Amino acid sequence: MCALLSSNLGYPRIGENREWKKALEAFWAGKLEEGEFTQQIEAIRLNNLRVQQQKGIDLIPVGDFSLYDHVLDTATMFGIVPKRFPYEGGEVPLSTYYAMARGSQGATACEMTKWFNTNYHYIVPELQDVQPQLTINKPLQAYREAKLQLGIQGKPVLLGLFTFLKLAKGYQPAEIDQLISAFLPLYVRIVTELEEEGVEWLQIDEPILVQSLSDADISRVSSIIATLTAAAPKLKIVLQTYFDAVEHYQAISQLPVHVIGLDFVHGFELNWKNIQTYGFPENKLLGVGLVDGRNIWQSDLQTQLEFLDHLSAIVPYERMLLQPSSSLLHVPVSKRKETKLAPVLRDALAFAEEKLAELTILSKATQHGQDFVQLELDMNQTVITKLNASSYRNKPEVQLAVANLQQQPSTRNSDFASRRSLQAAKWQLPFLPTTTIGSFPQTTEVRNARKNWRSGEWTPAQYEAFIQEQISEWILLQEKLGLDVLVHGEFERTDMVEFFGEKLDGFAFTSNGWVQSYGSRCVKPPVIFGDVSFVQEMTVKETKYAQSLTSKPVKGMLTGPITILNWSFVRSDITREQVAYQIALALRQEVEALEQAGIEMIQVDEPALREGLPLKKKDWQAYLDWAVLAFRLSTSTVKDGTQIHTHMCYCEFHDIIDAIRALDADVISIETSRSHGELIHSFEEHVYDQGIGLGVYDIHSPRVPSVTEMVEMIDRALQVLEPELFWINPDCGLKTRGKQETISALEVMVEAAKRIRASR
Ligand code: GLN
Ligand code: ZN
């Protein structure tokens, strides 16, 4: 019989009822003593392990749990604490740990950024002038705890040195070898101590190996791995990669480790091709990441068993570990509570717990034969077939439209120059028109009103009247402020994706499908599970109402197809590209409805366009092509005189500027104020010659900048951009700001615009 093992790579920290979040927040608020907090956290951590044990996972990860973020854990394990935080060496106190994560009086938090292409954010280690030391052996601690408390011989998880360094900042590229020399002895100590403890398996995560690395980098990784293996020859090291296929397969597969872990979901094609072409070393195990760690759907177990069968011709079963494609950190905990979903949808879901069960089924099927789990396999096929055959996924009109996409208009009638003159003549806006990005403060009052309406305490009419009051109050305010293009304020929206998801067909909302986004913050992404179609007007009523109150133009406000896609869990039976087109065509109907209703400036926000970029640069163009097409499908059928705006919340543009230009928006507004210099520079090199608004103040801070500050910022931008095409706006929506500070900041903004107009 084959000794194939099932192995997990990481588990959600948050607990089935977000107990983890609640404990963290209570502790921060001073409502939990440190001792009590530590106890609660331990209970959550042990429970997570217990679940994996009960599901029959052979290799259970330990040490992947965190009090905030695993990259921060790695940094603090090595005593890496920026000078602005209190620290005197030794184990980093909890207060310092959280100060680094969240900021404290007098010390700004460490930067936070996206973990590869996920929606998880990690704390960026700062490595300038560091003298790393091993303050605790966290993997060892985690191993001991699991063994002592639950009798689990866990598989410690360690963030690999090379990925850790590549994700850190505060050093010059040339300094990397020095840093390796400083940290490697500490890694050596970790692995030596693990080996001495009798630990059998160690998972070293090196996801950076799926990105393009130079030959020099690959040899750095080789020497790191060689050093660790030499230090702990008995330890079975798993070199784990995920989120895409590895680059340099030949070199990596030869590294002296016991197991090479590959992602056979997100990097399937290339990883599989490499194995077929170059084989797989006979002295190693292969970690086969088959169960998708990034989505919420049941695996097609039959297809996966067929694949495993093919694979076993190259790597026999006894040399496989069956695993999820990545840590399960990126999926919700359990679908047990999703009782409100349509059964045909609910049945086809698999969250973390259910994914563990899948691993066990796969491993039983390969070890004891399929008959052994025939019932489970049949059920799996049934639920998948049922959902695929359901009316949700079979809307002929939607599918026909996407199948005949060439027939759908995706180009405006006229070029920008002609549109521009028509639009200019129509609105006669002043030089440097002022506007905002869409939302105004979502005060407690607004949130309470929505709660009342959702709970049934308020009638829909009551809620609607409340929203209208807000709109009219802010239309008045905007007129008083002297803004040139007004917005209705988005008071009726909780979230810019959820709002549209609730109104479009093809979306579902879970009750408890939370995933960690950063720290204690969790998000509950909508689920795109069926063909997406337009059902009813979504924004027309509020926008039209706003327009009825003013003679100034009111800009309609929609979330774009790519942002809706990238911020949702997406069905996997058709490509993301297809889903994007479906959303785009549905949104087009809304764009047209707005235009019909007399709204002739329409903003289609795409803040998530950039974050959808694939991990490998060579895949960027394909993604950008369909993303741009989706945007254009939504926005191309309007009249020449209708002005399409878009908005993006970032400023790294230089590498996707062609795509941005290809959107062919009449006006784009982008976030700039925190990295103005950089952005201006990128515009010096790459001309952008359609309407553009650079955010002139940072909306993430309550600080109200001075008029001179804004004037300077605008002046600098006007040196590289065509002044006649320039708009003045804040960085992003204002929904998280207070009312008074918003008004003050906009006053300053309008004043700055006036001053520059007068000086020209
Ligand atoms: N229109 C949205 C708002 O103002 C845009 C938000 C965003 O870009 N994230 O809130
Ligand atoms: Zn924004």
Q: Give the helix/strand (H/E) hosting 670.
A: strand 667-670
Q: Is the pLDDT of residue 688 over 90?
A: no
Ligand 1 atom with the smallest distance to the CA of 559 is 1
Tell me what pLDDT residue 409 has: 97
Tokens describing residue 301: 């177990």
Strand-pair partners of 559: 605
Measured distance CA(314)–CA(653) in Å, rounded? 44
CA of 730 to the centre of ligand 2 (A): 9
471 lines ligand 1 (CB under 6 A): no
Give the angle 231-237-241 at the CA atoms, nearest 5°.
130
**66 touches 13 (CB < 8 A):** yes
Catalytic residues: 700
Q: How confident is the model at residue 675 (pLDDT cuts 50, 70, 90)?
A: low
The string of pLDDT tens digits covering residues 414-462 is 999 999 999 999 999 999 999 999 999 999 999 999 999 999 999 999 9
In the block, which residue shows the tokens 């790393």? 132
CA of 626 to the centre of ligand 2 (A): 22
Order of strands across the sheet that contains 527-533: 505-508, 527-533, 569-570
The residue-averaged pLDDT of 349-361 equals: 98
CA of 709 to the centre of ligand 2 (A): 21
User: CB neighbours of 397 closer than 8 A, spacing ≥ 6?
Assistant: 533
The string of pLDDT tens digits covering residues 100-109 is 999 988 888 9
Cα of 538 vs its chain's centroid, Å: 25
Order of strands across the sheet that contains 726-729: 555-559, 601-605, 643-648, 667-670, 691-695, 726-729
CA of 647 to the centre of ligand 2 (A): 6
Closest alpha carbon to 520 in 66, 97, 142, 94: 66
Closest alpha carbon to 486 in 420, 419, 550: 550
Q: What is the mean pLDDT of the chain?
A: 96
489 lines ligand 1 (CB under 6 A): no
Measured distance CA(436)–CA(696) in Å, rounded? 11
In the block, which residue shows the tokens 């998801």? 501
Closest alpha carbon to 136 in 83, 69, 82, 63: 63
How many of the other CB atoms lie within 10 Å of CB of 2?
14
The residue-averaged pLDDT of 374-400 equals: 98
Tell me which residue has its CA closest to atom 3 in ligand 1: 733
Ligand 1 atom with the smallest distance to the CA of 735 is 10
Tokens describing residue 607: 């803040």
In the block, which residue shows the tokens 């936070």? 112
Tell me what pLDDT residue 321 has: 98
The string of pLDDT tens digits covering residues 530-589 is 999 999 999 999 999 999 999 999 999 999 999 999 999 999 999 999 999 999 999 999
Altogether, the residues listed in the chain come to a count of 760
**342 touches 285 (CB < 8 A):** no
* Packing angle of the helix pair 352-368, 301-311 (nearest 10 deg): 50
36 in a known ligand binding site = no
Measured distance CA(433)–CA(216) in Å, rounded? 51
Q: How confident is the model at residue 348 (pLDDT cuts 50, 70, 90)?
A: very high
Tell me what pLDDT residue 32 has: 97
195 in a known ligand binding site = no
CA of 438 to the centre of ligand 1 (A): 6
Q: Is the pLDDT of residue 346 over 90?
A: yes
Tell me which residue has its CA closest to atom 5 in ligand 1: 733
Tell me what pLDDT residue 676 has: 53
Percent of the chain predicted with pLDDT > 70: 98
Q: How confident is the model at residue 2 (pLDDT cuts 50, 70, 90)?
A: very low
The residue-averaged pLDDT of 237-249 equals: 97
2 in a known ligand binding site = no
649 in a known ligand binding site = yes
Tell me what pLDDT residue 677 has: 59
Tell me what pLDDT residue 674 has: 65
Classify residue 29 as exposed, middle or buried by CB count within 10 Å of its CB (0-12, 13-18, 19+): exposed
Tell me what pLDDT residue 760 has: 84
Measured distance CA(601)–CA(616) in Å, rounded? 36
Tokens describing residue 311: 């694979």
Choice between 653 and 542, residue whose per-residue pLDDT is larger: 542
Classify residue 364 as exposed, middle or buried by CB count within 10 Å of its CB (0-12, 13-18, 19+): middle
737 in a known ligand binding site = no
CA of 732 to the centre of ligand 1 (A): 6
Tell me what pLDDT residue 507 has: 98
Which of 496, 554, 567, 611 is the pocket-test mutation for ligand 1 (most atoms within 8 Å of CB)? 496
Tell me what pLDDT residue 1 has: 40
Q: What DSSP state is assigned to residue 111? A: P
Classify residue 480 as exposed, middle or buried by CB count within 10 Å of its CB (0-12, 13-18, 19+): exposed
Measured distance CA(586)–CA(591) in Å, rounded? 9
64 in a known ligand binding site = no
Q: How confident is the model at residue 701 (pLDDT cuts 50, 70, 90)?
A: confident
**177 touches 217 (CB < 8 A):** no
Measured distance CA(464)–CA(77) in Å, rounded? 53
The string of pLDDT tens digits covering residues 5-28 is 999 999 999 999 999 999 999 999
244 lines ligand 1 (CB under 6 A): no
The string of pLDDT tens digits covering residues 491-533 is 999 899 999 999 999 999 999 999 999 999 999 999 999 999 9
Q: Is the pLDDT of residue 162 over 70?
A: yes
Kind of pairing between the strands at 112-114 and 121-123: antiparallel
Tell me which residue has its CA closest to atom 10 in ligand 1: 733
Query: Based on C-alpha coordinates, what's the Rg of the chain?
Result: 27
287 in a known ligand binding site = no
User: DSSP string of 233-287?
Assistant: TTSEEEEE--SSPPSSHHHHHTSS-SEEEEESSTTHHHHHHHHHHH---TTSEEE
735 lines ligand 1 (CB under 6 A): yes
Q: How confident is the model at residue 651 (pLDDT cuts 50, 70, 90)?
A: confident
Q: Is the pLDDT of residue 253 over 70?
A: yes
Measured distance CA(326)–CA(337) in Å, rounded? 24
555 lines ligand 1 (CB under 6 A): no
CA of 105 to the centre of ligand 1 (A): 29
438 lines ligand 1 (CB under 6 A): yes
Ligand 1 atom with the smallest distance to the CA of 648 is 8
Tokens describing residue 463: 């809620």
End-to-end CA gap in the chain: 84
Ligand 1 atom with the smallest distance to the CA of 436 is 4
Tell me which residue has its CA closest to atom 9 in ligand 1: 607
Choice between 720 and 541, residue whose per-residue pLDDT is larger: 541
The residue-averaged pLDDT of 597-616 equals: 96
Q: How confident is the model at residue 679 (pLDDT cuts 50, 70, 90)?
A: low
Tell me which residue has its CA closest to atom 6 in ligand 1: 733
Alpha helices in 341-488 (DSSP H): 343-346, 352-368, 374-389, 396-403, 416-427, 444-454, 460-481
Choice between 716 and 135, residue whose per-residue pLDDT is larger: 135
605 lines ligand 1 (CB under 6 A): yes
602 lines ligand 1 (CB under 6 A): no
Taking the alpha carbons of 19, 21, 27, 31 in that order, is the dihedral positive or negative? negative
pTM > 0.90: yes
